[in-house]
Copies of this chain bind each other. A is one copy, B any other.
Amino acid sequence: MEIIGFSAAILTTAAFLPQVYKTWKTKDVSGLSLPMLIMFFVGVFLWLVYGFYKESPSMIFANAITVVSAFFLMYFKIIYSKK
């Protein structure tokens, strides 16, 4: 059954990465909301903690990648908004 978790992890992570790439390339952060990014970052961090508690390899894998991606989006929002 862990294969279902990993399939889920790959699909939802892969659907999120193009957003990070697009923001990095275009530097267009006008459509991104900082409070929402912060909520999302904290939420994904808590999912990561919960994944360790549930001893779920697929949750740890997915949320470790997503927490880093969410951090970059927050970072882009802050640095590109200043211009």
Give residues in A with beta carbon < 8 Å to B: 1, 4-5, 7-12, 14-16, 18, 31, 33, 36-37, 39-40, 42-47, 49-50, 53-54, 56, 58
Chain A contact residues, majority secondary structure: helix
Residues B8 and A43 in contact, CB atoms below 8 Å apart: yes
Copies of the chain in the assembly: 2
Residues B47 and A12 in contact, CB atoms below 8 Å apart: yes
Q: How many angstroms between the C-alpha atoms of A27 and B49 in the bound complex?
A: 37
Residues B58 and A56 in contact, CB atoms below 8 Å apart: no
Q: A4-B46, A8-B44, A8-B46 are in contact. Are A15 and B31 (CB under 8 A)?
A: no
6 CB contacts below 8 A, A to B, read: A4-B53, A5-B46, A7-B43, A10-B43, A15-B36, A15-B37
| CB nearest neighbor in B for A63 | B8
